């Protein structure tokens, strides 16, 4: 065997490793044909070994689309005048959470645009207390309400939120700048700082990226995966970027990968992340479903273990269009639940009704810092 051949790892060698270099990750992300099948098989096995075969529900309530930001990719960005702005009423939000509790969803996610006014902060606080009360403390609560001050994060933590999702969108500084307005209100450093604050306030911290963004390279995505590891996050939610007509990034639509390619790459990202960080929670992103009706179930099969059924009151759903073709726009919560359950079980997973399904990584991380 010549020198060159001896030093090139086979794809299966990489799959056996516990740590990965950037080049290893790139090879996994580019896997096709048989290699792709081996990657998916390895991730499926690793998931079963480390976090088991259970799928955790997080009932998603998109309670307001009012946003102070202008992210260049997002359909509800502040400057989009074609959106009717809403704030669901407390009662509507609590009713949706009551539905989640009665149906033993285990947890809910409250998501919104980014607002930091005292009235907004108070409101979220009140909702957190209301959800805890109506569910006798049984519903777990995740927030996804953007960058906030330490005081706000602390206050919400004390009122009952214990997980927070804040995607970094891209861990590459230059790419981040290309997909956000160039001003202080859209600062990469502040986003990083917010992730750190969330950790310090003792949340289970989730982040993530969009896959298939304009200007994004395979190397960027491999670095995103290493970023999740470096920041030591407990949860990741990542899905394909989907262009929205009313946003500045729409002008780059012709330079994008096909939607199917973005979808396939997102699945390889999920599987690769399961190998790289086996004990975290990984969400099957809703955007997968916008491309393939069975997209989320496919992600659950090859590494994801969390799904967020949409419980947003129907009348608001069409106004919370972060991207085009967002699914389940007119299904009511009950209908969604039944069809989802059947699809998940068909994909071979078990739904963990009534469990919080916390990230095992969070407890390991805490133990390590305490000792």
Is-contact 268 218, C-beta < 8 A? no
For the window 53-82, what string marks contact with ligand SF4 as x by the rule CB under 6 A? --------------x-x-x--x-xx-----
Which of ligand SF4, ligand SAH, none is residue 244 near (CB under 5 to 8 Å by kind)? Answer: ligand SAH
Q: Residue 108 CB, nearest distance to ligand SAH (Å)?
A: 15
Contact between 285 and ligand SF4 per CB under 6 A: no
Is-contact 180 71, C-beta < 8 A? yes
Closer by beta carbon to ligand SAH, 111 or else 135: 111
Which of ligand SAH, ligand SF4, none is residue 323 near (CB under 5 to 8 Å by kind)? Answer: ligand SAH
C-alpha closest to that of 144 among 110, 99, 184: 110
Please give the Cα distance from 229 to 18 (Å, whole number). Answer: 13
Contact between 127 and ligand SAH per CB under 6 A: no
Q: Residue 80 CB, nearest distance to ligand SF4 (Å)?
A: 9
Strand spans (E) along the chain: 54-64, 107-112, 140-144, 163-165, 204-207, 210-211, 235-240, 281-284, 306-307, 350-351
Q: Residue 363 CB, nearest distance to ligand SF4 (Å)?
A: 29
Contact between 326 and ligand SF4 per CB under 6 A: no
List b or e across 157-180, with b for residues whose CB sees 16 or more CB atoms inside 10 angstroms: bebbbbbbbbbbbbbbeebbebbb
For the window 252-271, what string marks contact with ligand SAH as x by the rule CB under 6 A? --------------------
Is-contact 298 264, C-beta < 8 A? no
Q: Residue 57 CB, nearest distance to ligand SF4 (Å)?
A: 23
How many other C-beta atoms lie within 10 A of the C-beta of residue 152?
A: 19
Which of ligand SF4, ligand SAH, none is residue 111 near (CB under 5 to 8 Å by kind)? Answer: ligand SAH
Please give the Cα distance from 302 to 264 (Å, whole number). Answer: 12
Which residue among 51, 242, 344, 351 contacts ligand SAH (CB under 6 A)? Answer: 242
Is-contact 148 116, C-beta < 8 A? yes
Q: Residue 72 CB, nearest distance to ligand SF4 (Å)?
A: 9
Closer by beta carbon to ligand SAH, 51 or else 67: 67
For the window 115-154, what string marks contact with ligand SF4 as x by the rule CB under 6 A? -------------------------------x--------
Closer by beta carbon to ligand SAH, 134 or else 231: 231
Contact between 167 and ligand SAH per CB under 6 A: yes
* Residues 200-239 close enough to bind ligand SAH by CB under 6 A: 210
As a 3-state breakdown, the chain gives helix, strand, coil percent values, each rounded to 5, of 50, 15, 40
Contact between 323 and ligand SAH per CB under 6 A: yes
C-alpha closest to that of 162 among 195, 147, 140: 140
Please give the Cα distance from 235 to 251 (Å, whole number). Answer: 32
Please give the Cα distance from 294 to 306 (Å, whole number). Answer: 15
Which of ligand SAH, ligand SF4, none is residue 96 near (CB under 5 to 8 Å by kind)? Answer: none
Q: Which residues have CB under 8 Å from 192's CB, separation 6+?
A: 168
Q: How far from chain centre, in Å, is Cα 3?
A: 43
Q: Residue 309 CB, nearest distance to ligand SF4 (Å)?
A: 20
Closer by beta carbon to ligand SF4, 24 or else 169: 169
Enumerate binding residues for ligand SF4 (CB under 6 A).
67, 69, 71, 74, 76-77, 113-114, 146
Enumerate binding residues for ligand SAH (CB under 6 A).
73-74, 111, 113-114, 144, 146, 166-167, 169, 210, 241-242, 244, 287, 322-323
């Amino acid at each position: 065997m010549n020198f060159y051949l001896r030093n090139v790892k086979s794809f299966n060698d990489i799959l056996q490793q516990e740590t990965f270099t950037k080049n290893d990750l790139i090879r996994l992300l580019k896997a096709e044909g048989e290699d792709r099948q081996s990657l998916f098989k390895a991730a499926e096995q690793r998931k079963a070994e480390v976090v088991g075969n259970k799928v955790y529900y997080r009932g998603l309530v998109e309670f307001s689309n009012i946003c102070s930001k202008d992210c260049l990719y997002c359909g509800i960005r502040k400057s989009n005048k074609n959106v009717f702005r809403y704030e669901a009423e407390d009662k509507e939000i609590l009713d949706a959470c009551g539905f989640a509790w009665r149906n033993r969803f285990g947890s809910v996610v409250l998501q919104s645009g980014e607002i930091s006014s005292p009235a907004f902060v108070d409101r979220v606080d009140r909702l957190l207390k209301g959800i805890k009360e109506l569910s006798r403390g049984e519903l777990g609560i995740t927030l996804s309400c953007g960058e906030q001050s330490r005081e706000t994060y602390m206050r919400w933590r004390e009122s009952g939120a214990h997980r927070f999702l804040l995607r970094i969108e891209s861990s590459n500084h230059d790419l981040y700048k290309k997909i956000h307005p160039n001003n202080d209100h859209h600062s990469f450093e502040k986003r990083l700082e917010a992730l750190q604050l969330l950790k310090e306030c003792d949340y289970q911290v989730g982040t993530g990226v969009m896959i298939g963004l304009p200007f994004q390279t395979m190397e960027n995505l491999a670095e995103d995966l290493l970023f999740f590891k470096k920041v030591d996050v407990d949860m990741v939610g990542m899905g394909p970027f989907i262009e929205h007509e009313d946003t500045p990034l729409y002008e780059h639509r012709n330079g994008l990968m096909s939607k199917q390619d973005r979808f396939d790459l997102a699945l390889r990202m999920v599987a690769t992340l399961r190998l790289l960080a086996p004990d975290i929670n990984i969400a099957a992103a809703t955007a997968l479903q916008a491309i393939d009706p069975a997209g989320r179930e496919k992600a659950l099969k090859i590494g994801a273990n969390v799904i967020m059924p949409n419980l947003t009151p129907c009348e608001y759903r069409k106004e919370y269009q972060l991207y085009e073709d967002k699914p389940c726009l007119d299904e009511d919560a009950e209908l969604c639940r039944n069809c989802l359950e059947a699809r998940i079980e068909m994909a071979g997973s078990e739904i963990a009704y009534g469990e919080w399904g916390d990230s095992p990584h969070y407890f390991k991380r805490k133990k390590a810092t305490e000792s």
